[in-house]
Amino acid sequence: MAEMPLIQVRGLYKRFGRQEVFKGVSLDIMPGEILAVVGRSGTGKSVFLKHLIGLIQPDRGQILVAGQDIHRGSSRHLAQVRERFGMLFQGGALFDSLTVEDNIAFPLQEKTRMSAHEIHVAVAEILKDVGLEGVEDKLPDQLSGGMRKRVALARALVLHPEIVLFDEPTTGLDPILVQSIQRLIADTQAHFHYTAVIVSHDIPKIFEIATRVAMLHEGVILEMDTAARFQCSSNPAVQQFIAGRLEGPLTPT
Amino acid sequence: MARRRPPLQAERDTTIDSVCFLLAQLGAVVLSLLASLGRIGLFLGQSVGLIFVPPLKIRRVMRQVQFIGARSLLVIALTGLFAGMVLGLQGYYTLTRFGSEAYLGPAVALSLITELGPVLSALMVTGRAGSAIAAEIGIMRITEQIDALEVMALNPVRYLVVPNIVAGILALPLLGALFSTIGIYGGYLVGVQLLGVNSGTYFGNMKDFVDLTDVRNGLYKSLVFGVLITFLCCFKGYHTGYGAEGVSKATTEAVVWSSVAILVLDYFLNSVLL
């Protein structure tokens, strides 16, 4: 029997004022895969992620997580669904008044019955997993961009979620840090076996870790395939996007 | 006599279009106002409701009591002292005209306890703490920290709004009382020490004319202002616009709305309480 998709997006429509962001986006995300969502700036990739976790309501369409529509039901139902998710925000979204340790401990303090000592141990462990040690007492503002992303990843992973959403995890980092964050995502995914949805601009590096790639363009999924096949796509728009050429069906705006 | 030409069809259409446009504009303004009021109402309902639904975030409440209350002490003491001194001075010269300077004590005390204490302390707290609350929550919104709380399946209102409202309820009556107490002492300094009103008369008449109901009414007012300021500032910060400009606008609006609302509500509270 074919494996059931973990997340199903069905005919998603969304409009902000006069701007129509989605005109019927549909896709399936399988358990354990790393799905990269690519596309030009302003095509609504981050908005798409926020729909998946219920931060934005669609105008029309459904988002099913394990077969359940997340937008239908009470706020308690949505909260239950969200407990399956972790999210790495573009800017990290670390609580700037809390230290690194308190930031990572926050979900544990609020969502578990662990003792202070157990939380301290768990934080140290996850910080080690993301390659950061000895920064527990620092405030987010005292960290570099790459370190902030690592702390944010640690916070997103600390409750061992089933699905992790990454909103441009490598934007604004130098090429070596990009490589190291991508390696970290691949390693942690292999370790914790979560399903990952990554919005990224890092072409072609993202193809190294993605199981499948979906390209959002003009409100629909223009192409969705395995990373290898996506790169060989015959669609001229996809080829132009991957090569970053000015000439082609996609016009620079 | 020349007859007036009847309007052409095109002219009639233009007139109808203009009227329709005006009506549509008016309708849009009314609808947007109603939507805003609805949003405020729902947010207030949720915020106040969550005060009574455990768990209350005690540590955050304590932190906000310290921020709104303890850290406003100096500014409240200073403004209270000078407000009382001005009242002492003005009151003395006004009452002397009627030969009633013996009533300086109750005049100062009643003005402070029922009116100036609650209102001025609330305005000072708005300027000092309200703007900071709006800016802090606004920055949390634009840096996606509020989204991060939601993603953790936690209710941001419980973490960010409720502690501020509870802190406002606890701190404002105390700050208002402190303002009035220091103000009465300020009035004493000017009236008794500087202008020569008898000390016994100043305090003795106060006991006769200031009723416990006045004190209670002053506290009620501070209580209402405590909820009002903290709620409005949180609301504006929570629904901030985009970027630094959005936060600065939200902060300004928070202070302006709160200040206006304090004075408007003060009138209505007076009508009910007096």
Looking at residue B269, its pLDDT comes to 93
Looking at residue A78, its pLDDT comes to 87
Distance from CA of B6 to the nearest CA of A (A): 41
Listing DSSP states for chain B in one string gives -PPPPPPPHHHHHHHHHHHHHHHHHHHHHHHHHHHHHHHHHHHHHHHHHHHSSSPP-HHHHHHHIIIIIGGGHHHHHHHHHHHHHHHHHHHHHHHHHTT-GGGHHHHHHHIIIIIIHHHHHHHHHIIIIIHHHHHHHHHHHHTTHHHHHHHTT--HIIIIIHHHHHHHHHHHHHHHHHHHHHHHHHHHIIIIIIT---HHHHHHHHHHH--HHHHHHHHHHHHHHHHHHHHHHHHHHHT--SHHHHHHHHHHHHHHHHHHHHHHHHHHHHHHH-
pLDDT confidence tier of residue B2, bands split at 50, 70 and 90: low
A96/B143 Cβ within 8 A: yes
Nearest to A93 among B148, B153, B154 (CB): B148
> A192 touching B, CB under 8 A?
no
* Residue B250 one-letter amino acid: A
Looking at residue A191, its pLDDT comes to 87
Tokens representing B161 are 């709004």
Looking at residue B190, its pLDDT comes to 95
Q: Is the pLDDT of residue A172 over 80?
A: no
- Compute how many other C-beta atoms are within 10 angstroms of the C-beta atom of residue A57: 11
Q: What is the pLDDT of residues B136-163, one digit of tens each?
A: 999 999 999 999 999 998 899 999 999 9
Q: Is the pLDDT of residue A217 over 80?
A: yes
Looking at residue B104, its pLDDT comes to 92
Q: Is the pLDDT of residue A1 over 70?
A: no
pLDDT confidence tier of residue B90, bands split at 50, 70 and 90: very high
Looking at residue B1, its pLDDT comes to 52
Please provide the distance, in angstroms rounded to a whole number, between the alpha carbons at the two ends of chain B.
Answer: 69
Give residue ranges of B with CB < 8 Å to any A CB.
Answer: 139-140, 143-145, 147-148, 150-154
In this prediction, residues B220-244 reach a mean pLDDT of 94
* Residue B40 one-letter amino acid: I
Name the closest residue on chain A to residue B147, using Cα atoms: A55
> A161 touching B, CB under 8 A?
no
* Angle in degrees, CA B184, B188, B189, rounded to 5: 120
Q: Among residues A70, A6, A64, A74, which one has the least CA distance to residue A35?
A: A6
Looking at residue A42, its pLDDT comes to 84
Q: What is the pLDDT of residues A54-74, one digit of tens each?
A: 889 999 999 999 888 888 878
* Residue A246 one-letter amino acid: L
In this prediction, residues B225-249 reach a mean pLDDT of 94
Q: What is the pLDDT of residues A109-146, one digit of tens each?
A: 988 899 999 999 999 988 888 888 888 899 999 998 88
> A110 touching B, CB under 8 A?
yes
Looking at residue B91, its pLDDT comes to 93
Looking at residue A144, its pLDDT comes to 87
- Compute how many other C-beta atoms are within 10 angstroms of the C-beta atom of residue B2: 4
Higher-confidence residue of A202 and B80: namely: B80
Looking at residue A188, its pLDDT comes to 87
Percent of chain B at pLDDT > 70 equals: 99
Q: Is the pLDDT of residue A182 over 70?
A: yes
Looking at residue A77, its pLDDT comes to 86
Q: What is the pLDDT of residues B6-52, one digit of tens each?
A: 777 777 788 888 889 999 999 999 999 999 899 999 999 999 999 99
Percent of chain A at pLDDT > 70 equals: 98
Residue A66 DSSP label:
T
Looking at residue B8, its pLDDT comes to 74
Q: Is the pLDDT of residue A173 over 60?
A: yes
Looking at residue A227, its pLDDT comes to 87
Q: Say what angle helices B212-238 and B243-273 make with each other, to 10 degrees.
A: 160
pTM, to two decimals: 0.85
In this prediction, residues A99-112 reach a mean pLDDT of 92
Question: Would strands A34-39 and A163-167 be described as parallel, antiparallel, or unpaired?
Answer: unpaired
pLDDT confidence tier of residue A250, bands split at 50, 70 and 90: confident
> Which residues in B lie closer than 8 A to residue A93 (C-beta atoms)?
143-145, 147-148
Looking at residue A180, its pLDDT comes to 83
In this prediction, residues B198-217 reach a mean pLDDT of 90
Looking at residue A68, its pLDDT comes to 87
> A145 touching B, CB under 8 A?
no
Secondary structure element (H or E) that encloses residue A154, with its range = helix A145-157
Q: How many residues does chain A have?
A: 253
Tokens representing B264 are 């408007």
> A93 touching B, CB under 8 A?
yes
Q: Tokens 């936060």 appear where?
A: B247
Secondary structure element (H or E) that encloses residue A171, with its range = none
pLDDT confidence tier of residue B53, bands split at 50, 70 and 90: confident
Q: What is the pLDDT of residues A15-24, one digit of tens each?
A: 998 889 999 9
Tokens representing B182 are 């220091």
Average model confidence (pLDDT) for chain A? 88
Please list, in sequence order, all residues whose beta carbon lies within 8 angstroms of the beta carbon of residue A213, skipping any fewer than 6 positions away: A35, A36, A37, A38, A206, A207, A223, A224, A225, A226, A227, A230
Query: Residue A15 phi/psi, 5° resolution?
Result: -130, 135
Q: Is the pLDDT of residue B206 over 60?
A: yes
Percent helix, strand, coil in chain A (nearest 5)?
35, 25, 40
The sign of the dihedral angle between the CA atoms of A79, A82, A88, A91 is negative
Return the C-alpha torsion angle B25, B31, B34, B40, nearest 10.
Answer: -100
Looking at residue A146, its pLDDT comes to 83
> Which residues in B lie closer than 8 A to residue A94 (C-beta atoms)?
145, 148
Q: What is the pLDDT of residues B103-114, one digit of tens each?
A: 999 999 999 999
Residue A73 DSSP label:
S
d(CA B209, CA B222): 21
